[in-house]
Amino acid sequence: MDPIEFAIAAYQAADPKQLILVAMLPLFSLTVVLEAWRFRHTDIYSLKDSAASMALGVGYVLLEVVVNALFVFTVLNWVYQYRLMTIEITPLTFIGLYLLIDLLFYGYHVVAHKVRWFWATHVVHHASEHMNFTTAGRQSILYAFSGLFMFFTPAILLGFDPVWTMFALALNLSYQWFIHTQWVYKLPRPIEFIFNTPSHHRVHHGRNPEYIDRNFAGTLIIWDRLFGTFVEEREDLPPEYGITRPIHSYNPVTLTLHEFIAMFRDVGRPGTLWLRLKHLWAGPEWQRPETDTQDAVASQAGQPQQRLTP
């Protein structure tokens, strides 16, 4: 079966719950059109930036069903064999599932900012220096490759069916589309206290030192409040969007691969094997001590290794 035939077969065989993000594409597109028209005389939208984001988003959504059929559900169904119990889906248990997925998403999101391997895929989403609905669509097609789905296996081990688990995740991601905007400033206080809102998520996308690695929530901001990662958006400190090491490219391939290339380049530099491998799990900003590379180069050249004075 060639790739096109496999993709068609995957869509035909997919449970309707797996197609929610595909089904949401018309609504997502409508919000982009309305927002772009609303802010047509501002710099909130950039044609090149939004085109890159939309290309990445469409690729992510359309490939997700195929990747799930080819790989992800094979792993998740294997995990499901070892579940503690079988939880039937009712309105009440689905609410419980959604809350659990939201908590697990918070955990994944923190790790995605703290571990470079996962940051290498997540950075695609943060690379835009604009904040609008198209930024929500800026996703990496390599999420499955990096192992994102494994963060949600606790729900499956507990007893939730993999299809329902991924459906709850897709609903969560769909909600997050609508908080990538500058159209709304603040919502009523009870909503701002409980839910992740455009204001809270603008903070998350800010590269201001005060905003970096804050507000990791998916749907409920209460996780950030509970775990000490919440920061309020300040009127006197507008978020500066993007990443601290900007990628000046609109090429979807470059945007998808640049951090993986940089990471493996760091791993490949001479030095102690343990420290070389640490680039995979250390924070994105972590760098080896210069002496490690210098000692390795000196050793390869047959020169005495330099040591720091005690």
**Sign of dihedral through CA atoms 136, 139, 144, 147?**
negative
Would you say residue 254 lies in a domain? no
Would you say residue 302 lies in a domain? no
**pLDDT value at residue 64:** 80
**In angstroms, rounded to a whole number, what is the distance separating the alpha carbons of residues 160 and 158?**
6
Would you say residue 126 lies in a domain? yes
Q: Which segment of 5-14, 125-134, 188-197 scores lowest on mean pLDDT?
A: 5-14
**pLDDT value at residue 306:** 41
Whether 310 shows a pLDDT value over 60: the answer reads no
The share of the chain scoring above pLDDT 70, in percent, equals 88
Tokens (6 digits) for 302: 């047959």
Would you say residue 273 lies in a domain? no
Q: pLDDT tens for residues 217-256?
A: 999 999 999 999 999 999 999 999 999 999 999 999 999 9
In this structure, which long-range contacts are made by residues 16-23, counting pairs with CB atoms below 8 Å and at least 24 apart in sequence? 17/163, 17/164, 17/166, 17/167, 17/170, 18/65, 18/68, 18/163, 18/166, 18/167, 18/170, 19/65, 20/167, 20/170, 20/171, 20/174, 21/61, 21/64, 21/170, 21/173, 21/174, 22/61, 22/62, 22/65
Q: pLDDT tens for residues 115-154?
A: 999 999 999 999 999 999 999 999 999 999 999 999 999 9
**pLDDT value at residue 234:** 96
**pLDDT value at residue 14:** 67
What is the rounded average pLDDT for all residues in the chain? Answer: 91
**pLDDT value at residue 293:** 58
Residue from 117, 22, 125 nearest 66 by CA: 22
Domain of residue 37: give its range: 3-240
Would you say residue 135 lies in a domain? yes
**pLDDT value at residue 294:** 53
SS3 state of residue 237: strand
Q: Convert 83-104 to b/e letters by CB count within 10 Å (16 or more is b).
A: beeebeeeeeebebbbebbbbb
**In angstroms, rounded to a whole number, what is the distance separating the alpha carbons of residues 286 and 48?**
31
Q: How many of the other CB atoms lie within 10 Å of CB of 193?
A: 12
Would you say residue 131 lies in a domain? yes
Number of domains observed in the structure of the chain: 1
Whether 295 shows a pLDDT value over 80: the answer reads no
CA distances 97 to 14, 68, 102, 164, Å, are 21, 20, 8, 9
Task: State the number of CA atoms in the 13 A half-sphere of 30 facing the CB.
Answer: 5
Q: pLDDT tens for residues 31-76?
A: 999 999 999 999 999 999 999 999 999 989 888 878 877 789 899 9
**In angstroms, rounded to a whole number, what is the distance separating the alpha carbons of residues 71 and 149?**
11
* Maximum mean pLDDT: which of 6-15, 176-185, 288-297: 176-185
**In angstroms, rounded to a whole number, what is the distance separating the alpha carbons of residues 36 and 42?**
9
By the 8 A CB rule, do 65 and 19 touch? yes
The share of the chain scoring above pLDDT 90, in percent, equals 79
**pLDDT value at residue 39:** 97
